[in-house]
Structure 1
Amino acid sequence: MKNVSALFAALALSAAVAAPALAAPQTFVLDNSHSFPRFSYSHFGYSTQMSRFNKTTGKVVFDAAARTGSVDIVIDTKSVDTGFATFDEHIQGEDFLDTAKYPTASFKSTRVVFEGDKPSKIEGNLTLKGVTKPVTLTVTSFQAMPHPMLKKDAIGANAFTVVKRSEFNAGKYAPYVGDEVRIDIALEAIKE
């Protein structure tokens, strides 16, 4: 009987030690060749203009078993790409991004909400032009699996939010140029 008790104690101890390893959070580094924040807004009602930022860095922590995670992203605002160099400079000016004074924007999560085994919303703080406001990113797709080319674990997601640029001291020409700006991010990250 002592041997059986000792065996159960050893099994319980080994399960307790192994369990955290199975549910351990994993850290993923953004793949900056596949992670692009985009923004779109109404241009005098004529069209919806779409632009992006070409340089983004950051990390994502994901724990599938515990259904928790965190996101920390930094956007190089000087990498704004409207498709027209003169307009890139205009957007970087004081009236809009003021990249000379604020060369980066950031998003830092405060909570990740899951539906089943996938994140559905990411709540956090967006800092743009020195102003920090809470925003919620709605996740429209999510994938976690080994990367077929890199042979490492990887994650990918698409998410969006809508902000008012006037709340970030970038409201020049509103409401003619739309105050509401939709921010979309396509993100891929590789396990550290």
Structure 2
Amino acid sequence: MNSKTIATTPTALPLTAGQWTLDPYHSAVGFTIRHLGISKVRGEFGRFEAGLTVGGTLDTCSVTATVALDSIDTGNADRDAHVSGPDMLDVANRPAMAFRSTRIEGQGSDWIMEGDLTIGEVTRSVTFDVEFGGVEDSVVDGRRHAGFEAKGEIRRSDFDLGFGLPVLSDSVKIQLDMQFVEPQ
């Protein structure tokens, strides 16, 4: 962290208050699911938006995100078409996945973020373990950037996405690598 970083205390946060914007060129939304219980299939979603609102305390901080489900990329176009189709994600009827945080807590580099995840008409509470990577000045744009890695797990059946069990596991691990740019 650079010298401009604010120390984390119960009343001070390590980020400047305001609306931080996503740096999409240094961010990724990935997932892992087991196939036949013996191997993992990894993928990413190529189109997503996210926002980080920092207030004076953790209670006034929030994270929002929207992921375009038709932007799935598992490295296999035929598989992506099948997963996007009506018997799996059904992107025609479920075009997006949305997240809104409800609670953030922690200090230093280790944080927990809870929130509501919505896929289609179903909303469930999820928890992410968040690692705060720090804040650094970018030599490219001269602005401060903050980095985060978040990991969580959902059950497909909780979102009415149980097709293919047990060929595909019910559990899907989610990994988010996010970089946000400080407000001006």
The two structures have a TM-score, normalised by structure 1, of 0.80
Measured after TM superposition, the shift of residue 150 of structure 1 is 1.4
Q: Deviations over 1:163-182 (max 9, x none)?
A: 10011111112123110110
1:13 match: none
Asked if structure 2 preserves the Cα contact closer than 8 Å seen for 1:36 and 1:55, the reply is no
Code of the residue aligned with 2:178 in structure 1: it is: L
- Number of residues of Structure 1 aligned to a counterpart in Structure 2: 169
Asked if structure 2 preserves the Cα contact closer than 8 Å seen for 1:97 and 1:129, the reply is no
Code of the residue aligned with 1:91 in structure 2: it is: V
2:38 match: 46
- Correspondence for 1:135 among 126, 129, 143: 126
Alignment partner of 1:165 is 2:140: no
Q: Using the alignment, how far apart are the partners of 2:155 and 2:46 within structure 1?
A: 22
Measured after TM superposition, the shift of residue 142 of structure 1 is 2.7
Q: How does 1:28-67 map to 2 (within 5 A)?
A: 28-63=20-55, 66-67=57-58
Q: Secondary structure at the match of 2:67?
A: strand
Code of the residue aligned with 1:44 in structure 2: it is: L
Measured after TM superposition, the shift of residue 56 of structure 1 is 1.0
Closer, same or farther: CA 131–137 of 1 in aligned 2, 3 Å = same
1:111 match: 103
Q: Using the alignment, how far apart are the partners of 1:26 and 1:144 within structure 2?
A: 15
Asked if structure 1 preserves the Cα contact closer than 8 Å seen for 2:110 and 2:129, the reply is no
Measured after TM superposition, the shift of residue 114 of structure 1 is 1.8
Alignment partner of 1:191 is 2:182: yes
Closer, same or farther: CA 31–24 of 1 in aligned 2, 3 Å = closer
Code of the residue aligned with 1:152 in structure 2: it is: R
The structure where helix makes up a greater share of residues is 1
Larger Rg: 1
Q: Using the alignment, how far apart are the partners of 1:181 and 1:124 within structure 2?
A: 17
Root-mean-square deviation over aligned CA pairs: 2.0
Q: Secondary structure at the match of 1:113?
A: strand
Measured after TM superposition, the shift of residue 62 of structure 1 is 2.5
Gaps of 5+ in 1: 1-22
Asked if structure 1 preserves the Cα contact closer than 8 Å seen for 2:156 and 2:172, the reply is yes
- Correspondence for 2:136 among 140, 145, 159: 145
- Identity among equivalent pairs (%): 29
Measured after TM superposition, the shift of residue 147 of structure 1 is 2.3
The two structures have a TM-score, normalised by structure 2, of 0.84
Q: Using the alignment, how far apart are the partners of 2:143 and 2:58 within structure 1?
A: 21
Code of the residue aligned with 1:35 in structure 2: it is: S
Code of the residue aligned with 2:81 in structure 1: it is: E
